[in-house]
């Protein structure tokens, strides 16, 4: 027997929520009843379009600008969400960048930027929401990792390192927060049809399923994780059958 989750008493923050996987997650959480803060850095119009869609469906949502790799910006964002929607119960760390580089092309600046945006942001946002979750002895943190955390990937070693680090952070937080009612998990998609993969439909030949994944399928996995009190420190892998781990 399955029942639809009811998140109507919850407030969710989705970083990088203006498009692609982040937008699909924001819309899915709103459909389940959550009030949703859609974070963006530059794409204000896209974020507002996601918010408008949520409101059109009767939900509550705001768009909130912040560079989540910067501590001061994160603190301001958390304050705004708490003021406008309420304390944050659900954090989805989805914001990230992909700078394709070969080993010889990879620069120190590329490496530092990737680690800061993809990994440090998870640390900053998680630390910022923990006091609210601890106060209610309930919280859900889901980090959007990647198959690149365990495989070769197509972006470069800097990207692999950022996603592997994210999964390490997940396990570290999960082990230390489980007794406080807070779960921390990863969802690790590979080859999802988003702007990042634009023009790379040829990669579908590597997928046994025969097609790329869809952002909505990643959002379904996030929703599943949110509804499971017994799951923490785990990585849910979505790759169309390319690897079994």
- Mean pLDDT across 40-64: 97
- pLDDT for res 201: 62
Backbone angles phi, psi at 60, to 5 degrees: -110, 135
Nearest-5° Cα angle at 16, 14 to 20: 100
Tell me what pLDDT residue 108 has. Answer: 97
pLDDT of 206 higher than 90: no
Contact residues for 10 (Cβ-Cβ < 8 A; gap 6+): 33, 34, 35, 89, 90
Give percent of the chain above pLDDT 70.
92
- Do the beta carbons of residue 223 and residue 29 sit within 8 Å? yes
Helix (H) / strand (E) containing 236: strand 235-238
Could you give the residue numbers annotated as active site? 159
DSSP string, 157-181: HHHHHHHHHHHHHHHHHHHHHGGGT
Average pLDDT over residues 172-182: 98
Q: What is the CA radius of gyration of the chain?
A: 17
Whole-number pLDDT of residue 205: 67
The structural domains of the chain, with segments of one domain joined by +, span 11-238
Give the residue with greater pLDDT, 213 vs 71: 71
Residue 239: per-residue pLDDT: 74
- pLDDT, position 225: 95
CATH number of the domain at 11-238, please? 3.40.50.720
Q: Tell me the pLDDT of the chain averaged across its residues.
A: 92
| Pairing mode, strands 90-93 and 235-238 | unpaired
């Amino acid at each position: 027997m399955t029942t639809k989750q009811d998140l109507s008493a919850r407030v969710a923050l989705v970083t990088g929520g203006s498009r692609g996987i982040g937008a699909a997650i924001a819309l899915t959480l709103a459909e389940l009843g959550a009030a949703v803060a859609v974070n963006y850095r530059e794409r204000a119009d896209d974020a507002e379009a996601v918010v408008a869609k949520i409101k059109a469906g009767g939900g509550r949502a705001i768009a909130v600008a912040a560079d989540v790799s910067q501590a001061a910006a994160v603190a301001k964002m958390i304050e705004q969400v708490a003021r406008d929607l309420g304390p944050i119960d659900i954090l989805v760390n989805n914001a990230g960048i992909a700078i394709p580089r070969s080993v010889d092309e990879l620069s120190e600046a590329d490496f530092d930027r990737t680690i800061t945006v993809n990994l440090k942001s998870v640390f900053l946002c998680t630390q910022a929401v923990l006091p609210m979750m601890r106060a209610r002895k309930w919280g859900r943190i889901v980090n959007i990792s990647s198959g690149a955390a365990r495989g070769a990937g197509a972006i470069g070693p800097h990207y692999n390192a950022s996603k592997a680090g994210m999964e390490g952070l997940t396990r570290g937080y999960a082990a230390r927060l489980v007794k406080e009612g807070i779960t921390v998990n990863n969802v690790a998609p590979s080859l999802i049809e988003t702007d990042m993969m634009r023009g790379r439909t040829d990669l579908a030949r590597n997928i046994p399923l025969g097609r790329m994944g869809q952002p909505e399928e990643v959002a379904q996995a996030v929703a599943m994780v949110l509804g499971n009190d017994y799951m923490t420190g785990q990585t849910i892998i979505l790759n169309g059958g390319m690897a079994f781990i």
